[in-house]
């Protein structure tokens, strides 16, 4: 980050003392409201052709083929002649992230100033959201409105690649505080410029690009950010080390055992897994519509982490797809498939259990995963895989799998771990 974007910053060499921030800045999508809900919900106001245009321009930005400002200008152009009242009503129907309102109230009661910044959500909407939540400052793209209807025109420096840092600097100058007195809570790459600016950067379920740049990482309940902002707030007790999610992971080790030792046909097993996955997918649609489909909904509610409670819980589905794909792709080398699934089930499950219970040293580039959890997963998965192959190859498979699991990646590790481990193991068997 250029020094010009560090207003009132401390001089080089000066020690930065740990202290409470005077301002806490929140990203909006993925932190205050669920990720991937703003445009998907508001495009309900558009014609089918304009919906496709929004998806196209948003997709080209997501793939890195179009800069943010250009994408937003083209997207908002599709909203020309949309009623402002309808636009506001649609946005305000989007649910808040669970406990976000409580976190902001807690910070306000403790004397912190708060702000919300977004490169995509219109400022006219953010101002109403800020009033609702008691937030002091709101900055976003400025929409042009004429006769109570959107004109499709949008403007604002915040839409540039480093626009959030520019706007944050303006806010810091206005409040006459330094970046060292500011904390930022965000979830994706669009906030890197702010993370490079401040000393207290908190990733809330951050993506793989933002994760290495976070000073602190919280995955799950947003209330867990509070102790990182104010050390006088005691951290919540650690969630149980072993739960439904881990039981599903570890119990799935029975799949390679069934196929490898009891001779159950892998195609039959794959078909049954896909059949159960279809039932699960239907139950997820029902759950988000407020309906229940036992036993799927019952299991899902006990296994989901916080961010999955307001969105589709895709991890179990990806886990099933990863196992089935590994069974079918490596059908010529079944022991490679069985070893890979052993690593994906036992290794990941044990890593989570040990990491939560005894983890003390976080992996710097992928917080909050821990060294202790990864090493435990390595040993346990090597033992589990050795049933299907030699100890040396089993250790190789475990090393590959846990390395893939530890590295930040855009691909969900429920897919990447079994497939990449299976590929590496098949090459040496």
- Burial of 81 by CB count in 10 Å (0-12 exposed, 13-18 middle, 19+ buried)? exposed
Contact (Cβ atoms closer than 8 angstroms) between residue 374 and residue 347: no
Which position has the token pair 């710097």? 364
In angstroms, the CA 138 to CA 20 distance is 21
Q: At residue 134, does pLDDT exceed 80?
A: yes
Contact (Cβ atoms closer than 8 angstroms) between residue 58 and residue 71: yes
- Give the pLDDT score at 308: 60
In angstroms, the CA 24 to CA 20 distance is 10
Beta strand residue intervals within 118-164, DSSP E: 137-139, 142-146, 149-155
Structure tokens at 18: 């740990």
- Whole-structure pTM value: 0.83
- Give the pLDDT score at 51: 95
- Burial of 22 by CB count in 10 Å (0-12 exposed, 13-18 middle, 19+ buried)? middle
Q: What domains can be seen in the chain, in order of their start residue?
A: 3-9+17-229 (3.40.50.1000), 244-428 (no CATH)
Q: At residue 11, does pLDDT exceed 50?
A: no
Contact (Cβ atoms closer than 8 angstroms) between residue 204 and residue 30: yes
Q: Give the model confidence (pLDDT) of 362-405 as tens digits.
A: 898 888 889 999 999 999 999 999 999 999 999 999 999 999 99
């Amino acid at each position: 980050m250029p020094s010009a974007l560090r207003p009132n910053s401390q001089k080089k060499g000066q020690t930065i003392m740990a202290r409470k921030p005077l301002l806490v800045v929140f990203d909006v999508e993925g932190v205050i409201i669920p990720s991937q809900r703003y445009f998907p919900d508001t495009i309900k106001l558009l014609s089918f052709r304009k919906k496709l245009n929004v998806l196209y321009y948003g997709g080209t930005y997501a793939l890195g083929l179009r800069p943010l400002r250009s994408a937003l200008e083209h997207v908002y152009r599709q909203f020309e002649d949309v009623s402002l009242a309808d636009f506001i009503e649609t946005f305000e129907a989007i649910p808040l992230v669970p406990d976000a309102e409580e976190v902001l109230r807690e910070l306000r009661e403790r004397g912190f100033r708060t702000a919300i910044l977004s490169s995509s959500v219109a400022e006219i909407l953010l101002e109403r959201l800020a009033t609702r939540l008691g937030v002091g400052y709101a900055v976003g793209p400025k929409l042009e409105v004429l006769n109570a209807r959107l004109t499709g025109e949008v403007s604002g420096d915040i839409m540039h690649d480093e626009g959030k840092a520019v706007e944050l600097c303006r806010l810091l100058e206005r409040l006459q505080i330094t970046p060292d007195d500011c904390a930022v809570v965000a979830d994706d790459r669009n906030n890197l410029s702010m993370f490079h600016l401040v000393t207290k950067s908190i990733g809330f379920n951050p993506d793989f690009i933002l994760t290495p740049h976070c000073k602190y990482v919280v995955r799950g309940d947003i209330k867990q950010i509070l102790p990182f902002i104010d050390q006088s707030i005691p951290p919540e007790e650690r969630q149980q080390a072993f739960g439904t999610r881990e039981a599903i992971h570890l119990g799935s080790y029975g799949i390679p055992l069934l196929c490898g030792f009891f001779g159950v046909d892998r195609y039959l097993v794959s078909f049954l897994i896909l059949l159960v996955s279809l039932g699960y997918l239907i139950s997820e649609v029902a759950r988000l519509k407020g309906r229940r489909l036992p036993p799927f909904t019952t299991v899902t509610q006990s296994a989901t982490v916080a961010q999955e409670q307001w969105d589709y819980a895709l991890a179990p589905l990806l886990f099933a797809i990863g196992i089935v794909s590994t069974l079918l792709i490596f059908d010529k080398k079944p022991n490679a498939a069985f070893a890979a699934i052993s690593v994906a089930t036992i290794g990941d499950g044990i890593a989570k259990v040990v990491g939560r219970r005894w983890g003390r040293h976080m992996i710097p580039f992928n917080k909050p995963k821990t060294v202790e959890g990864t090493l435990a997963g390595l040993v346990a998965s090597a033992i589990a895989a050795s049933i299907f192959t030699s100890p040396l190859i089993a250790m190789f498979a475990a090393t590959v799998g846990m390395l893939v699991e530890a590295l930040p990646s855009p691909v969900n590790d429920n897919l990447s771990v079994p497939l990449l481990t299976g590929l590496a193991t098949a090459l040496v068997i």
